[in-house]
Amino acid sequence: MTCHFHVGQKVVLFRAFPSHEILRAARENVILPTFGVVYTIRNMEPTIGNETEMCLRFNELVNDPHIDNGIEPSFYARLFRPVVERKTDISVFTRMLNTQRVRIDA
């Protein structure tokens, strides 16, 4: 069971759900993750019936437990990718503000 995610990590859904899955979720009152929205992993667990695949639940998205099994819906980890958080580097802009002339001997 290989999963490169951890609780507290920010992830994003990288493809939209097909229409048949959206309709099924609507019938079952399940709120699906939205394409391109950043979510924070709240919980991770193996898929029921397939211990090799992980499913995720998110802080920003809480569903009621399913009527049939009493378990809150979760979403396949393979549908998400990590959000790359980069520190903003503004050094290029601060160099542009430097008004001091520098003489270069040719």
What residues pair up with 41 in beta bridges, in sequence order? 58
Q: Higher-confidence residue: 105 or 29?
A: 29
Confidence of residue 4 (pLDDT cuts 50, 70, 90): confident
For the chain, the straight-line distance linking the first and the last C-alpha, in angstroms and rounded, comes to 62
Q: What is the spatial order of strands in the sheet that 80-82 belongs to?
A: 75-76, 50-58, 38-47, 10-13, 80-82
Q: What is the C-alpha to C-alpha distance for residues 4 and 2, in angstroms, rounded to an integer?
A: 7
What is the value of pTM for the model shown?
0.72
Q: What is the pLDDT of residue 24?
A: 92
What residues pair up with 82 in beta bridges, in sequence order? 11
